Amino acid sequence: MRTLVAIVVAQALGLAAMASPAVYAAEQTDNAKITELKQQLAEITQELESLNSRVNKTERHAALDRITFTGDFRVRAHSLHYQDVTWNPAILVNFSDFGARAMAGEYGNPADANSPLGKMMAANPALATAFQSGQLSGVMPYVLAAQTRQDIDNDIYYNTRLRLNLKAQVWDNVDFAGRLSMYKNWGDSTGVQVFDSWRSFTMDGTDSANTSGDWLRVERAYFDWRNIGGSEFYLSIGRRPSTYGPPSHYRENELRGGTPSGHLVNFNFDGMTIGYKLGELTGVEGQVVRFCYGQGFESQWGNGELFGDTITKDTHLGGFNIDAINDGNHFLQFTLFAAKDINDGFKGTMAFPNQLASIFAPTMYQDLQKFDNFNFVTRVQPSGVIGDMYLGGVGYSYETDDEMKFFASFGWTRTVGNGYAGMFGGLLSDAVFTAELNSDGSEIIMSPSTADSNENHDGYGVYVGMQIPAPYGKFGLEYNYGSKYWTPFTQAQDDPIGSKLATRGHVIEGYYIFDVNPHMFIKLAGLYYDYEYTGSGTPVGAPQKVSDVLKGTAYSLLPVIDTAFDVNASLTVNF
């Protein structure tokens, strides 16, 4: 383009040079025409220089700006309130086995204060009394600490979320998309939370939704290869867009953010999707059938596999997601998938609570008491495979032309346990512990030996809501319920109390969105949680009735919330 501009300028100068003798010969005294010609030439030169500058910018944009950036920035303030937070820890112990082995002298002489059994009885007088009177038999709870109960108020809690979207057109039918996320508390970039619930355990699938620090994480990164070979097939591989799917995107005040049902899946994972635009054959608008595959856990690499004692397995996910109707007004979706070889946890990092250290690491706890505001940070990993899971659901939403939205979703989960259990339990079952001597034979330790049940468990969840136009914005109201064994994969939902859609119990949410401008809104919201069963959001451990934990007839290794509410206000800017 620069060559073209130079040629045009040279020709203009040449014409001016040829024209000048003719002008001088014809009218040598006509200085006005000469001045006019010079002015015209100056204007042409200026215009060509401007054109050259614009062409250079276009060339640079085409060569360098291959990636388009968009994003959103949200600041939010919460007032969090928990009622009757109860900690009543205990484990199930096979006391028949314990008694038989004690009588056989395996744990030493109980009358010897220096024997393993003598030390245990001296440290637990109530246990000693019950053991000596023959009250311990069968599988019974072994209470680890006295029950505590309290209300907790976090009157003000601020956080900030930044998400950067990346898009690039690789070829006519190939695109790349990604999203980088930062999510942090104000005044906190530690990246590790004290383990007081499964919500606080940061892992691969929930990194983007746990407040971690002032750095960007890769939440999504994948490519789409459309119309393969001129067909309606497409292929997508990478870190999947598996969060904020329908109908959970309404409360986010954004377009559909993920492929699968947000009622069943709000969890980051790596994998692939093979889809077919079925609507081109059936004539039903927006009809798409997809087969999705992914890996939720890598069991060997990074887990010390070269020592040869890795007993966990890779967790693989697979299933179908079908958009049966998607015409702009009606949306109907079916979901069915399975997760094979679920382990009793994930790789992750946490700060070990001193409360559990006093129970499970008493020697270390002696030193921790000198620094009671310190926690040791540890990398954790699961101990074994606990079974398989199946999930299915159907969701429908209706949007009117005047911006009224209504939706309903039903979800089903099934767990198939195999009888294995780690410290916190098996697949929706509790661990049964047996008494073992430590490696040097000086102390009795409790080790999980089996799950108290390997039965299959079915759970269900219901999620309904609406969003209607209101003065200066829109008003929304939602309700969801989860049964005793309801176990969806929604742990990446960024509700600070815990994923509302994973709740085993009732949640009501109301919100008002004020549209400041087309790219900015303010949201005022309130959520009320009423938990009926423990363990919301995790497949590990048997759910207990919260009312029984409060009464002291049921137990939990982690604190249990009865009811809670979250009043929050946020401001979001899209750019």
Q: What is the CATH number of the domain that holds 204?
A: 2.40.160.10
What pLDDT is attached to residue 365? 85
What pLDDT is attached to residue 15? 45
CA distances from 135 to 17, 131, 278, 446 (A): 118, 6, 66, 19
CA distance 507 to 479: 6
**Residue carrying structure tokens 């199930």:** 92
CA distance 294 to 292: 7
H or E element that contains 22 = helix 2-26
Which residue, among 563, 526, 478, has the nearest Cα to 77 in the 3D structure?
526
Q: Is residue 21 part of a domain?
A: no
Count: domains in the chain: 1
HSE toward the beta carbon, residue 167, CA cutoff 13 A: 5
The percent of the chain in helix, strand and coil, each rounded to the nearest 5, is 25, 45, 30
pLDDT digits (tens), the chain, 575 positions: 545 444 444 454 454 444 444 444 545 556 777 777 778 887 887 777 777 666 566 555 555 568 999 999 999 999 999 999 999 999 999 999 999 999 899 999 888 888 999 888 888 888 888 877 888 889 999 999 999 999 999 999 999 999 999 999 999 999 999 999 999 999 999 989 999 998 888 789 998 888 989 999 999 999 999 999 999 999 999 999 999 999 999 999 999 999 999 999 999 999 999 999 999 999 999 999 999 999 999 999 999 999 998 899 999 999 999 999 999 999 999 999 999 999 999 898 999 999 998 888 877 888 888 888 888 899 999 999 999 999 999 999 999 999 999 999 999 999 999 999 999 999 999 999 999 998 889 889 999 999 999 999 999 999 999 999 999 999 999 999 999 999 999 999 999 999 999 999 999 999 999 999 999 999 999 999 999 999 999 999 999 999 999 999 999 999 999 999 999 999 999 99
Q: Calculate the average pLDDT of the chain.
A: 91
Q: Is residue 193 part of a domain?
A: yes
3-state secondary structure of 374: coil
Q: Are 445 and 460 in contact (CB under 8 A)?
A: no
What pLDDT is attached to residue 133? 81
Q: Are 183 and 210 in contact (CB under 8 A)?
A: yes
Q: Is residue 265 part of a domain?
A: yes
- Looking at residue 399, its amino acid is E
Q: Is residue 78 part of a domain?
A: yes
Q: Is residue 49 part of a domain?
A: no
Q: Is residue 166 part of a domain?
A: yes
CA distance 495 to 507: 12
pLDDT one-digit tens code per residue, 221-235: 999 999 999 999 999
- Looking at residue 167, its amino acid is K
CB-count exposure of residue 435 (10 Å: 0-12, 13-18, 19+): buried
Q: 431-437 and 90-94 as β-strands: parallel, antiparallel, unpaired?
A: parallel
Q: Is residue 397 part of a domain?
A: yes
Which residue, among 93, 87, 198, 96, has the nearest Cα to 452 in the 3D structure?
93
User: What is the DSSP secondary structure assignment for residue 427, as one 8-state letter?
Assistant: B
Say what the alpha-carbon torsion angle 149, 155, 156, 159 is, to the nearest 10 degrees. 30
What pLDDT is attached to residue 55? 59
Q: Which residues contact 241 (CB under 8 A, 6 or more apart)?
A: 177, 220, 222, 257, 258, 259
Q: Are 243 and 492 in contact (CB under 8 A)?
A: yes
First to last CA, the chain: 33
Q: Is residue 2 part of a domain?
A: no
Within a 10 A sphere around the Cβ of 1, how many other Cβ atoms?
A: 12
What pLDDT is attached to residue 23? 45
Q: Which residues contact 135 (CB under 8 A, 6 or more apart)?
A: none
Token pair listed for 315: 């967790």
What pLDDT is attached to residue 59? 58
The parent domain of residue 392 ranges over 66-89+145-347+382-418+454-574
3-state secondary structure of 19: helix
